Structure 1
């Protein structure tokens, strides 16, 4: 049976889009691998009325509520490939029959790729963080590090300075230009040159930033801007236009979250330069509205 829409990704953007389409009584299939981007963080913050809840808890409740809509189907797995054109898309999942739909909504999110530094990955989402608005308050002030990974790292460090005493570790990146240096000085951010060789456990709740030159520094948390990579190859295979950001490429969309390919929409971190769960959810709502109105007006003119 052909669906009105297939949503690839059951995170905050995908489920929010599904709500819109389900409440319009449209047949929706959500394909989800069960690995949301924020799975490494124990708690979510900054989301209205949900402060402190885990992302998995919020998503589980959303799935439970969505399951009460008779036109919604959940499929567990990874969407391997997709083909087709508007009104006739087909998505394949390993070991299952292809699913057909009139519209395709990409919400599979991003893969965060961290610098290859011993001790960094296992602390990701705990004391190695990416967003001060999400996790900065809980640090409680004190010494905080920012690891330079891209040209906007100096700006990131200047923002994080509102949450503690910040040191920017350049880690082999070019030294900030004069304007960035002036900003760091104005924000009272320290600058530490040299390669970071390891992240280790320090005294108490501190962690130690070890430099290749033998120096080390203790901080309560380390902020990192990871390289972001679009999960999966479906957008690339369809030829969806991409947009460059300082942290990686995202899928380009218009205000209705339509991509450059007719009938394909994208929402959430996969189509935003900056994201959190609130923004991802709002993006999903816009994509759901865009996809529904596309279906509605197509029916009106058929």
Structure 2
């Protein structure tokens, strides 16, 4: 019985089924391989990478997904603002995707970390932390980013649960609650403008001297948005649900949730190794076709866009797969 027949019997069309050890059918069937040469290697097996793989699999392209299994939203309880999957957990969405990709025999999955890459005569070579080496004509980096947590006790435990980055992804669920915005300057002002439509109890905590223009201060005052310049010493919470913000001067204030702007770093250093350029914000520079500045190298998902969401990642991956298939076609036809 081949994979397609087995999956049909299990009914895996839009539903996530897992096997013992919490491995999806897709991961189970692709965990061991003899093949080392592919047409495309995708580094990163979350939403952008899986979406790119589907486009390639449906075009019968020999594709390898290398994934370390640590998506940035793994602590987030539910994903939102993605049509047909609103309210699903990130894991559920990924399992559905992997099980649907299991149908396509040309897609292989490698559970591990890609640590280095280089250009070779026929394309590219990727080496994993286990020492396995794979080659491909095209590379896709859907490797995401890593948020850098501030040195504030309780912050990382609340991140993605009650301390969030995006009103579109999480704002509806924390509407009408007493809300802190942990940011300063332009970023804080922008967040305040969006969050003001979701709650009227907003405090901006700048953790230092406020950095707003006079007209911004006037606007914030008009909407009764308070500015607190005190530094935060801790977030008190219960299982990731924010309860109190503690300041370094010893004072406390109760808040139900918070928005925060935190710095990030790229999960993968390989794009830099290959010479890809980066934007001023630290994202991999891509054009409208998801091409990086290096020929044959593509990027999609959080690592290459300011618009950080599941829906945008899936869209970017879909574009990437289609563009790569077209390039491979033009090169061989």
Q: TM-score range, shorter-chain basis?
A: over 0.9
- C-alpha distance in 2, partners of 1:173/1:243? 28
Distance 1:57 1:172, change over 3 A: same
Q: CA deviation at 1:295?
A: 1.0
2:251 maps to which of 215, 231, 240:
215
2:77 maps to which of 21, 30, 42:
42
CA contact (8 A) 1:91 1:100 kept: yes
CA contact (8 A) 2:112 2:130 kept: no
Unaligned runs of at least 5 residues, structure 1: none
After superposition, give the CA deviation of every residue in 1:21-50 in whole Å (9 maximum; x if it has no partner): 111110000001111111110111111111
* C-alpha RMSD of matched pairs (Å): 1.7
- C-alpha distance in 1, partners of 2:43/2:121? 16
After superposition, give the CA deviation of every residue in 1:185-213 in whole Å (9 maximum; x if it has no partner): 344321111111111148xx761111122
In the alignment, does 2:306 pair up with 1:273? yes
1:260 aligned residue = 293
1:162 aligned residue = 197
User: How is 1:184-263 mapped onto 2 (pairs within 5 angstroms)?
Assistant: 184-201=220-237, 207-245=243-281, 249-263=282-296
SS of equivalent residue, structure 2 residue 54: helix
In the alignment, does 2:49 pair up with 1:10? no
Moved more, 122-131 or 100-109: 122-131
In the alignment, does 2:68 pair up with 1:33? yes
- C-alpha distance in 2, partners of 1:72/1:58? 18
Unaligned runs of at least 5 residues, structure 2: 1-35
SS of equivalent residue, structure 1 residue 243: coil
1:21 maps to which of 52, 56, 76:
56
Moved more, 38-47 or 183-192: 183-192
In the alignment, does 2:188 pair up with 1:153? yes
Q: TM-score, normalised by structure 1?
A: 0.93
SS of equivalent residue, structure 2 residue 303: helix
1:101 maps to which of 126, 132, 136:
136
Distance 1:29 1:159, change over 3 A: same
- C-alpha distance in 2, partners of 1:99/1:120? 39
In the alignment, does 2:157 pair up with 1:122? yes
Moved more, 187-196 or 102-111: 187-196
- C-alpha distance in 1, partners of 2:242/2:291? 45
Distance 1:206 1:290, change over 3 A: closer
- C-alpha distance in 1, partners of 2:251/2:45? 44
Distance 1:251 1:85, change over 3 A: farther
- C-alpha distance in 1, partners of 2:269/2:184? 25
SS of equivalent residue, structure 1 residue 3: strand
- C-alpha distance in 2, partners of 1:86/1:42? 45
After superposition, give the CA deviation of every residue in 1:182-239 in whole Å (9 maximum; x if it has no partner): 332344321111111111148xx76111112232211110111111211121011111
Q: CA deviation at 1:151?
A: 4.1
CA contact (8 A) 1:161 1:188 kept: no
In the alignment, does 2:296 pair up with 1:286? no
- C-alpha distance in 1, partners of 2:299/2:137? 15
1:171 aligned residue = 207
